Amino acid sequence: MIRVGVNGYGTIGKRVADAVATQPDMELVGVTKTKPNYEAEAATRRGYDLYAALADRADDFAAAGVGIAGTLPDLLESVDVVVDCTPSGIGARNRAIYAAHDTPAIFQGGEDADVADASFNARTSFESARGADSLRVVSCNTTGLARLLAPLEEAYGVEKARVTLVRRGGDPSETGRGPINDVLPDPATVPSHHGPDVNTVLPGVPVDTAALKVPVTTMHTHSVNVTLREAPTTGEVHDLLAEESRIFTVPEAAGIDGAGKLKEYAMDRGRPRGDLWENCVWEESINVSGHDLYLFENVHQEADVVPENVDAIRALTTDLSAAESIERTNETLGVGLESLLTSDEDARDPITADD
């Protein structure tokens, strides 16, 4: 069993903890919190051992009625790998603590690439993790782009990808980021940093990105244009993407018109927290004109990196192949949404509902 600790139990950490606890070859030893709030209570109720991230606050937990199993150093001594899910920039500060305990570490995409030995995406860079002591799972947007561009590069060659990222302003729990009522170029400099970040896990694929922030909390939307070296048909690109286990092609017949209904669909399908681990590509948006491919995809920022963290744990601690790890992760979590519905011309009539 791979013994895993999660340092930082927020949006990403709680999801990684749940995913780790589901794996047959992993044991979730514990999670840390900086303070005994509602998330600390929820972790305790889930049966997870809680550790104080900051030793000088350990007494606060007992005072609030939440028991702890120890502090961060105790957790680090008990695990084979720690997954750092602390806010951007804190992970880099934690690096020395992990090194002092000789504990291999996985960081998140909010950290700079040099925080770890290698950046990680299971589809594109599993093998580059071999021999590493630390990995950085790339951000939600970068993960989504790498999953999309890798099969296109392999099948047709990518001459140039141009992607506009319409980014959610904050996560649902990030009340401090709003309310806002604007559309912000963010960063205003073009191209944005996301393209170079894609190249940390998918080198050699030319990709330019521009990014905006909008006042939604549900998902990111990517408007994608890829100039391909070959000229496949629209149907061929559809079939290629539909074959990818971490891409969900959303049929027009489903009547899903945006992130709200996508999340509703995830909840209807029984997904924990309404999480969408897959890229969601609108089928009717896929269009090839000559060598130019166009499509829209949505990425659930809170969820798509979760299976990637599970695979990163195996890449760091086992000799399993990428395919074996991805298959195990997908099977245990239930990654790989498919719709029973198919899109055809008849399905193109808009679906209406009165309520």
User: Any residues with CB less than 8 A from the CB of 342 and at least 6 apart, and which?
Assistant: 251, 253
Minimum distance of ligand NAD from residue 144's CB (angstroms) = 10
- Among residues 40, 43, 129, 140, the one annotated as catalytic is 140
Nearer CB in complex with ligand NAD: 71/339: 71
Selected binder of ligand NAD within 11, 23, 124, 298 (CB under 6 A): 11
Selected binder of ligand NAD within 87, 172, 178, 203 (CB under 6 A): 87
Selected binder of ligand NAD within 23, 44, 108, 249 (CB under 6 A): 108
Is 302 a binding residue for ligand NAD by CB under 6 A? The answer is: yes
Q: Which residues of 244-254 are buried (b: 16+ CB within 10 A; e: fewer)?
A: bbbbbbbbbbb
Show contacts with ligand NAD in window 159-178 (CB under 6 A): 171
Tell me the sheet residues that pair with 287: 294
Q: What does the per-residue mask of binding to ligand NAD show for 13-32, with x meaning CB under 6 A?
A: x------------------x
Catalytic residue status for 280? no
User: Any residues with CB less than 8 A from the CB of 299 and at least 6 apart, and which?
Assistant: 140, 141, 143, 144, 219, 220, 221, 222, 279, 280
Give the CA distances from residue 308 to residues 135, 145, 312, 329, in Å, rounded to whole numbers and listed in that order: 11, 13, 6, 9
Minimum distance of ligand NAD from residue 321's CB (angstroms) = 25
Closest CA to 114 of 87, 134, 86, 85: 134
Q: What does the per-residue mask of binding to ligand NAD show for 114-143, with x meaning CB under 6 A?
A: -------------------------xx---
Selected binder of ligand NAD within 1, 88, 172, 175 (CB under 6 A): 88
Nearer CB in complex with ligand NAD: 32/325: 32
Minimum distance of ligand NAD from residue 274's CB (angstroms) = 14
Minimal CB distance residue for ligand NAD: 10
Closest CA to 235 of 285, 287, 280: 287
Pick the stretch among 19-27, 102-110, 113-121, 274-282 that binds ligand NAD (CB under 6 A): 102-110
Selected binder of ligand NAD within 36, 70, 109, 307 (CB under 6 A): 109
Cis peptide before 36 (omega within 30 of 0): no
Nearer CB in complex with ligand NAD: 148/228: 148
Pick the stretch among 7-15, 255-263, 322-330, 339-347 that binds ligand NAD (CB under 6 A): 7-15
Show contacts with ligand NAD in window 40-59 (CB under 6 A): 53
Q: Count interface residues toward ligand NAD (CB under 6 A).
A: 25
Nearer CB in complex with ligand NAD: 87/258: 87
User: Which token pair is 330?
Assistant: 């997908």
Selected binder of ligand NAD within 17, 90, 158, 276 (CB under 6 A): 90
Nearer CB in complex with ligand NAD: 85/288: 85
User: Any residues with CB less than 8 A from the CB of 162 and at least 6 apart, and which?
Assistant: 207, 208, 209, 224, 225, 226
Residue numbers at the binding site for ligand NAD (CB under 6 A): 7-13, 32, 34, 53, 85-88, 90, 108-111, 139-140, 171, 301-302, 305
Annotated catalytic residues are 140
